[in-house]
Chains A and B, each alone.
Chain A
Amino acid sequence: MTMNRRKFLSTGSAIALGALAAPAIARTGFAADTIKIGSLLDTSGLFDAYGKPMDMALRLAVDEINGAGGLVGREVEIISYDTQSDMALYTQYAQQLVRKDKVDVVQGGILSASREAIRPTLRKSKVPYFYNVQYEGGVCDRNIVIDGVTPAQQSEILMPAIINKWGKKIYILAADYNYGQITARWMQKYAQDAGGEVVAVDFFPLDVSDFGSTIAKIQSAAPDIVVSALVGGAHLSFYRQWAAAGMNAKIPMASSTIGVGNEHKVLTPEEGNGIMVAYNYSPELQSPTNLAFLEAWTAKYGDVSAIHEIAVSHYQGVKLWAQAVTNAGTPDRDKMIEAVEGGLSIDGPAGKVSIDPKTHHAILDVHLMEFKDQSLKVIESFSQRPPVDTQAVCDLQANPDDTTQYEIKI
């Protein structure tokens, strides 16, 4: 089984490469009209460190789908726009995808703001939307499918683990926006559930890069652990300054965000080693599906250094959609969404991913990991964690017309 699958995938990618080289030959096998995926990703501008690998993942997934004969006998075509990290362009291109290109599905969006910018448009024009990024949770909308990890899925594993390992007093640092605020609340909840005590929570605007006074403040609070939900390039300097002050040897650290954009490859081993995280994916996973995925990625792009958490998440999102179309026998929106709600699951690089019909969020494996010499070493795996945060507020089976993004009361 294992060998077969891997072999199958690698031949798949070989065919896909062939298709690139000689599109005319490959196309003859398909029915006349294509199935269109609309892609909106920031492949330039501030957020392209996230967007570029996601775009690569999308293209790999589609190559594999076409290599294996397309979907319901039709070829899958990508229509992609670079949103240039500009929220106004998201709405513009979403309109373009819906009206002019008439796509069957939209995959993409990175920041929550970009998702909220296009979600109403796609809902009104009845184009299903897959948002495949780790985010703050709570979106309840039948037109959207979300396969990223949510804060509760991470915190319920991360917080007890670090409290057992290092001690009870916790100092939380978080990015000052929606994601950081909500994640910090879930961290507090799970810390208290595990018997820990949160001594302080500090929020930082995304462009703060001088953490000198914060580091002094943390020392006067003398916590056992520092937990960070800091986001982006400017915040990366916190880890550097933390290490430069020699603090990384004194107070251990955990995070819900570092590593998502491959930050562990930017920090030196001395700066990064020992930081605990919990994610859905690590390239170090030894599962056969992951090995096959890495092999296919290498065949297409040369090396695997660009792969990160949300690129894999995006890859899995595309595969989930493909599976739903296959199950439904058509890319038609209503039938496809019924298939999503009828027990949809795939075996992705990060393990089994299935969609919870009530919330359209993913049930997935979460791995507790540690930074070790610029890689993510898996310590313990927790299989099939449900999105408990979103489940607490959202039931699309009972209220199919719900479109709110809930802020979850804890």
Chain B
Amino acid sequence: MVGGEFRKTLAVIVVAFVAMLIGPSLIDSYTLTVLIIYGMLALSLGLIWGYGGILCFGQAVFFGLGAYSYAIAATNIGESTVPFLLGIAIPFAFAFLLGAMMFYGRLSDVYLGVITLVVTLIFYKFVNSTAGPEYVIGNARLGGFNGIPGFQTLNVPGDPGAYIYDIDFYYFCGVALLVVYALVRWLLASPFGRVAVAIRENEQRVELMGYDVRFRKTVLFAVGGAIAGLSGTLFASWAEIVTPGMFSLAQSAEIIIWCIVGGLGTLVGPVVGAMALAYLKFLLGQQSLVDTTLVFGLILVLSVLFLPRGVVPTLGLLGRKRRGGGSSRRRAGRGRSGRGRRAMQEDAAKEGADV
């Protein structure tokens, strides 16, 4: 069983690696870089929502926190290694605290959604109101609505003059995504990951078996925060500016849409969803016939109604049907909490694609 999963993971990585090498000849590498960064961001939510059953409306908080931590530290230090690590560590720590606050308080369901949403709003409003000269951290002005421009971007560790940019930065992000994917796969295959999925399926039962559900959920949530923070750090280095928009509800909404459309309960789904939709947004900006917001709204409504499992699992399902069988141990679901009995039965009846 574990061998099969390992082979599958390896296959995904090899295919993705080849795609990464071919990519720049099809799409401009600068655009591809941001697609990869968004992919990683979607992966972070795909992990905690699809595997942990934790619906977080505030994944953008960790994304923005990573970017701002990096930007502030880079402005002060002028070399990117420590800022890069801080950009992962700070969101991790914050997610851990927030998660502990929520899960030890036994919050679940929609209440979890509200808290994460409110935290997003607090960050957004606060960062937006830091335009005054009194908001300084070291040499870095927080800048309010306009954000922080002009910090040191990613460089070769120890050599601030050797920037990692352009095609090198693209490969850096690509490899980072693959490494994160492999690590997450490893995490999910470990006992910790198995229990996490069990919690999603039936929290009470797992708790009765003697596992500390609250701690495990908190850790999973913090790991998701760290991954989102990493993607924020990379984004800061890519865009060379960070703005409060990174904390916005619109940003959070986009991450959720990526996951829904791509497919929850898989890791490849959210990544593919993010890349496809972000590229679609980029293409839509080059024309003026249809309103982008309208298109995205339509995509979200239709995919909830007709593709409740997302594109990647549905494709996997079709593929399997054609091959005439094969079964999967794990169900792809949007978490026990949010779904009615009917949906769960459907899930149970169908087979999930586990990629």
Contact = CB atoms under 8 A, between A and B. Distances in A.
Nearest to A96: B28
Interface residues of A, number: 37
B78 interface: no
Contact of B144 (A83, A117, A177): A177
Max count, chain A CB within 10 A of own CB: residue among B129, B146, B291: B146
Contact of B282 (A45, A92, A112, A205): A92
A211 to B, nearest CB: 16
B233 to A, nearest CB: 15
Given A88-B34, A88-B239, A117-B239, A176 B144 contact: yes
Nearest to A178: B146
Contacts of B243: 87, 113, 117
Contact of A116 (B131, B133, B149, B284): B149
Interface string B123-164: 001001101110000000001111101100000000000000
B234 to A, nearest CB: 13
B288 to A, nearest CB: 6
A205 B128 CA distance: 7
A1 B147 CA distance: 49
A92 B35 CA distance: 11
A91 B129 contact: no
B293 A117 contact: no
Nearest to A95: B30
Nearest to B241: A117
A116 B30 contact: no
A295 B291 CA distance: 30
A83 B285 contact: yes
Interface string A140-172: 000000000000000000000000000000000
A84 B293 CA distance: 9
B128 A116 contact: no
B28 A95 contact: yes
Contacts of B286: 81-82
B147 A113 contact: yes
A81 B128 contact: no
B245 A176 contact: no
Nearest to A176: B129
B30 to A, nearest CB: 4
B145 A178 contact: yes
Given A45-B293, A178-B145, A84 B133 contact: no
B292 interface: yes
A120 interface: yes
B350 interface: no
B203 interface: no
Nearest to A83: B285
Interface in A166-208: 176-178, 180-181, 203, 205-207
A86 interface: yes
Interface in A84-130: 84, 86-89, 91-93, 95-96, 99-100, 111-113, 116-117, 119-121
Interface string B274-294: 000000011011111001110
A315 B29 CA distance: 33
A43 interface: yes
Nearest to B144: A177
A347 interface: no
A124 to B, nearest CB: 10
B72 to A, nearest CB: 16
A99 B149 CA distance: 22
A380 interface: no
Contacts of A119: 149
Contacts of A99: 28, 30
Interface in B29-80: 30-31, 34
A178 B282 contact: no
Contact of B281 (A84, A120, A206, A207): A84
A44 interface: yes
Contact of A120 (B31, B128, B147, B149): B149
Given A44-B292, A95-B28, A117 B149 contact: yes
A95 B31 contact: yes
A178 B28 contact: no
B347 interface: no
A84 B286 CA distance: 10
A84 B292 contact: yes
Contacts of A86: 245, 281
A303 interface: no
Contacts of B235: 88
Given A84-B281, A87-B147, A203-B132, 6 more contacts: A91-B240, A112-B146, A113-B243, A116-B146, A177-B144, A177-B145
Interface of A: 43-45, 81-84, 86-89, 91-93, 95-96, 99-100, 111-113, 116-117, 119-121, 176-178, 180-181, 203, 205-207, 405, 407
12 contacts: A83-B285, A86-B245, A89-B282, A95-B28, A99-B30, A116-B149, A176-B129, A176-B131, A178-B145, A181-B132, A181-B144, A203-B129
7 nearest CB pairs, A to B: A177-B145, A116-B149, A95-B30, A113-B146, A178-B146, A177-B131, A177-B144
